[in-house]
């Protein structure tokens, strides 16, 4: 970082201001900020939708909405949370942190990067527009099939399905463009001396995520395109009247859908070890073992898809294969868990908010993983399938494992991004409220699920009433405590105690060598890694 860097910094920082800055930017930090902001907004939108659902489920019977609208809220909640909240958050971190962590001047393809982001707001419009149109009497609302689009219901559905199909198309283009950018950045932009096996774990997590996205998102695009032609152009892909099969859609969808789970989680598995390392003040345990485990999980992720529909009908050898291959994922995942725990072992640990989230994350995500092992059992799955047990399971993996992990990352990097410390007390309060209310919401769902309460139904039998009431109370506390999170982020962005360059005492890595916040152009001259 010599004086020439400063000269270049000034020369290049003649970027536009106001709205044009954000519309036109090619800067990885600006784009990362937009991704993260978009993600936070959509997190609140998707969250409010599910509070509507939980309010309806507060007691048995139909109170607030008709079943069709209930189904619409469920489907759009899932699509928004997966595609518009979790994925953009991970991509936002990738944009912000990967160039800083590998000592790159920017992402490799900056204009493409901008396009990747600006495809998201149109997709969000496509997802939510059918609600608005229905208010004006056009069409009958958003897709009412759940986020999985299963035919024949999705072939018969109204224009909401078409809107969701095109939203998925645009989101898919965005993800593929983002993945291309990340793969190219990691292969071509690393600082001299940073070999692949010296890359930060977050970079590894994202590299494998990007490979999964490139391999599976186009398959989803193909599947929803077939749905579109079945709907409007008379093809018979999913219609037995012409030799097609509705179950084929499930295969195509989950060929994408299962890797998608790892797409959401691998970036988190990347930065959580970095957080554990920072706050344990000792080196990461088993770097190589973790990298190989990430690869193993990435590879297994694309060959286990049919465990999502064991009950749909499959030959027994196929059932056995998908059961065993699914269970095999728990081996590399167990390696990861042991590495995470061993990283903390005998460390001189402190529990700032990011660490609280990271440790809470290990426990809660562990529950998600173990219940997944139960669901992978073909014989047991016949009972669990399509019940609230599944809902609770994937919220332990995707809310605890995904969103709480993202929150750990937000608290960890927010001082670096904004140059200010967040309010530690509020952060800790946010963690405890989130962790407790999350369990209050979802532990009862395991039990009602085991007792036979089906998902995606607005009414339920009387014996589930108490547990659903508890679940709804938990969900509202969970939802409201996120306002603390939003407040904390906004007040941190606007001011507060200055953050040092290193921010955390035990922090390691190139991103902590830069000032907080980093200059507009960070590494004009690449650092050399020894």
Partner 1 sequence: MATHSENQYFVPHGSIYPSILSAGLLSMASGFIFSVATDRGGKSLAYLEGPGHWMMYFGLAVVVFMMFKWLGTVITESMTGKYKSWEDKSFRWGMVVFIASEVAFFSAFFGALFYMRVLSVPDLASYAPDITPYKDFLAVWPSQGPGGHVLGAEYTPNPAFKPMHWSGLPLINTILLLTSGATITWAHWGLIKNNRTQLIIGMFLTVALGIAFLICQGMEYHHAYTEMGLTLGSGAYGATFFMLTGFHGFHVTIGTIMLIVILLRCMKGHFTPEHHFGFEGVAWYWHFVDVVWLGLFIFVYML
Residues in 102-131 at the binding interface with partner 1, rule: CB under 8 A:
104-106, 108-112, 114-115, 118-119, 121-122, 125-126, 129
Is 16 a binding residue for partner 1 by CB under 8 A? The answer is yes
CB of 115 to partner 1, least distance (A): 3
Please report, as residue ranges, which positions from 54 to 113 form the binding site for partner 1 (by CB under 8 A): 104-106, 108-112
Alpha-carbon distance 67 to 63, whole Å? 10
Q: Which residue has 């990461």 as its token pair?
A: 284
Residues 154-193 that bind partner 1 (CB under 8 A): 158-159, 162-163, 166, 169-170, 176, 179-181, 183-184, 187-189
Straight-line distance from the first to the last Cα atom of the chain, in angstroms, rounded to the nearest whole number:
16
The one-character DSSP state at 308 is G
Please state the closest distance from residue 104 (CB atom) to partner 1, in A. 8
Q: Tell me the C-alpha distance between 381 and 308, whole Å.
A: 9
Among 55, 245, 501, 502, binds partner 1 (CB under 8 A): 245
Phi and psi (nearest 5°) for 142?
-75, 180
Of 74, 79, 144, 252, the residue at the interface with partner 1 (CB under 8 A) is 252
Contact between 448 and partner 1 by CB under 8 A: the answer reads no
- Quick one: which of 183, 287, 187 has its CA closest to 508? 287
Q: From the CB of 71, what's the least distance to partner 1, in Å?
A: 15
Per CB under 8 A, the list member of 52, 60, 67, 139 interacting with partner 1 is 139
Q: Is 223 in the site for partner 1 (CB under 8 A)?
A: yes
Q: Binding partner 1 by CB under 8 A: which of 226, 329, 336, 376?
A: 226
Which C-beta is closer to partner 1: that of 159 or that of 435?
A: 159
Task: Candidates 10, 232, 331, 483: give the one binding partner 1 (CB under 8 A).
Answer: 232
Residue placing its CB nearer to partner 1 in the complex, 109 or 414: 109
CB of residue 140 to partner 1, shortest distance in Å: 6
- DSSP annotation of 454 reads B
Q: Can you tell me which residue has the tokens 């179950």?
A: 247
For residue 358, count CB atoms less than 10 angstroms from its CB and return exposed for 0-12, middle for 13-18, buried for 19 or more: buried
Q: Does 12 bind partner 1 (CB under 8 A)?
A: yes
Both tokens assigned to 327: 């269970």
State how far the Cα of 25 lies from the Cα of 29, in Å rounded to an integer: 9
State in angstroms the smallest separation of the CB of 299 from partner 1: 15
Largest Cα–Cα separation, the chain: 73
DSSP state, 246?
Answer: H
Q: How far is the CB of 120 from partner 1 (least distance, A)?
A: 8
User: What is the DSSP secondary-structure string of 122-178?
Assistant: HHHHHHHHHHHHHHTTSSS-B--S-TT--TTHHHH--HHHHHHHHHHHHHHHHHHHH
Given the complex with partner 1, which of 239 and 501 has the nearer CB atom?
Answer: 239
Q: Does 215 bind partner 1 (CB under 8 A)?
A: yes
Stretch that binds partner 1, among 10-18, 338-346, 433-441, 472-480 (CB under 8 A): 10-18
Measured from the CB of residue 138, what is the shortest distance to partner 1 in angstroms? 7
Contact between 356 and partner 1 (CB under 8 A)?
no
Q: How far apart are CA 33 and CA 384, in angstroms?
A: 40
Chain CA centroid to CA 40, Å? 12
- Is the Cβ of residue 27 or residue 437 nearer to partner 1 in the bound state? 27
Dihedral (Cα; 57, 401, 106, 192), 10-degree rounding: -170
Nearer to partner 1 by C-beta: 183 or 261?
A: 183
Question: Which CB, 183 or 335, lies closer to partner 1?
Answer: 183
Residues 20-49 contacting partner 1, CB under 8 A: 20-21, 23-27
Contact with partner 1 (CB under 8 A): which of 9, 59, 198, 236? 236
* Region from 220-228, 407-415, 455-463, 470-478 binding partner 1, contact rule CB under 8 A: 220-228
User: Is 325 one of the binding residues for partner 1 (CB under 8 A)?
Assistant: no
The single-letter DSSP state of residue 189 is -
Residue 313 or 379 having the CB closest to partner 1:
313
Q: How far is the CB of 23 from partner 1 (least distance, A)?
A: 5
Complex with partner 1: residue 128 or 482, whichever CB lies closer: 128
Q: Between 16 and 283, name the residue whose CB sits nearer to partner 1.
A: 16
Give exposure, 44-75, as e/b (b: 16+ Cβ within 10 Å). Answer: bbbbebbbbbbebbbebeeeebeeebbbbbbb
Contact between 492 and 418 under an 8 Å Cβ cutoff? The reply is: yes
Full DSSP string of 281-307: TSPPS-HHHHHHHHHHHHHHHTT-GGG
Closer by beta carbon to partner 1, 214 or else 426: 214
Rounded to an integer, what distance in angstroms lies between the CA atom of residue 412 and that of residue 415?
A: 7
| H/E element, 315 | none
Count of residues near partner 1 by CB under 8 A:
82
Distance CA 270, CA 287 (A): 11
Interface residue with partner 1, options 218, 366, 452, 454 (CB under 8 A)? 218
Q: Contact between 260 and partner 1 (CB under 8 A)?
A: no
| Region from 54-62, 198-206, 241-249, 442-450 binding partner 1, contact rule CB under 8 A | 241-249
Q: Which residues pair with 420 in a beta bridge?
A: 498
Residue 281, interface with partner 1 (CB under 8 A)?
no
């Amino acid at each position: 970082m010599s004086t020439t860097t400063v000269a270049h910094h000034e020369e290049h920082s003649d970027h536009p201001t106001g709205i044009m800055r954000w519309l036109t930017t090619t800067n990885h930090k600006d784009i990362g900020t937009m991704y993260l902001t978009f993600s936070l907004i959509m997190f609140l939108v998707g969250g409010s939708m599910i509070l509507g659902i939980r309010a309806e489920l507060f007691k048995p019977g139909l109170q607030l909405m008709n079943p069709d609208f209930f189904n619409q809220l469920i489907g759009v909640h899932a699509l928004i949370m997966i595609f518009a909240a979790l994925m953009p958050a991970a991509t936002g971190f990738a944009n912000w942190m990967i160039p800083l962590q590998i000592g790159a001047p920017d992402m490799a393809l900056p204009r493409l990067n901008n396009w990747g982001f600006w495809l998201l707001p149109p997709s969000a419009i496509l997802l939510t527009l059918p609600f608005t149109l229905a208010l004006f009497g056009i069409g009958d609302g958003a897709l009412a099939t759940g986020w999985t689009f299963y035919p024949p219901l999705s072939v018969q559905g109204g224009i909401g399905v078409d809107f969701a199909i095109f939203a998925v198309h645009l989101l898919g283009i965005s993800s593929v463009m983002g993945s291309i950018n990340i793969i190219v950045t990691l292969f071509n932009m690393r600082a001299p001396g940073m070999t692949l096996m010296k890359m930060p774990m977050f970079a590894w997590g994202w590299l494998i995520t990007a490979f999964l996205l490139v391999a599976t998102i186009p398959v989803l695009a193909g599947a929803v395109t077939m749905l579109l032609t079945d709907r409007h152009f008379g093809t018979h892909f999913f219609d037995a009247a012409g030799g097609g099969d509705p179950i084929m859609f499930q295969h195509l969808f989950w060929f994408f859908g299962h890797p998608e789970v790892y797409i959401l989680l691998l970036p988190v598995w990347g930065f959580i070890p970095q957080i554990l390392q920072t706050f344990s003040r000792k080196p990461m345990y088993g770097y190589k073992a973790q990298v190989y485990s990430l690869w193993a999980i990435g590879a297994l992720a694309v060959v286990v898809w049919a465990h999502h529909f064991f009950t749909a009908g499959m030959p027994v050898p196929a059932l056995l294969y998908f059961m065993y291959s699914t269970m095999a994922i728990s081996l590399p995942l167990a390696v990861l868990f042991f590495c995470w725990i061993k990283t903390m072992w005998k460390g001189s640990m402190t529990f700032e908010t990011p660490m609280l989230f990271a440790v809470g994350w290990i426990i809660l995500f562990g529950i998600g993983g173990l219940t997944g092992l139960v669901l992978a059992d073909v014989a047991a799955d016949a009972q669990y399938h399509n019940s609230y047990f599944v809902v609770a399971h994937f919220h332990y993996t995707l809310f605890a494992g995904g969103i709480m992990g993202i929150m750990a990352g937000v608290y960890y990097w927010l001082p670096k991004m904004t140059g200010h410390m967040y309010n530690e007390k509020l952060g800790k309060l946010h963690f405890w409220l989130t962790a407790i209310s999350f369990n209050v919401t979802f532990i009862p769902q395991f039990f009602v699920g085991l007792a036979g309460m089906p998902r995606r139904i607005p009414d339920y039998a009387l014996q589930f009433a108490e547990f659903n009431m508890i679940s709804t109370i938990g969900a509202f506390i969970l939802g409201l405590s996120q306002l603390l999170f939003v407040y904390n982020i906004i007040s941190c962005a606007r001011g507060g105690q200055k953050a040092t360059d290193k921010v955390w005492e035990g922090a390691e890595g190139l991103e902590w060598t830069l000032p907080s916040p980093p200059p507009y152009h960070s590494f004009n001259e690449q650092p050399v890694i020894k």
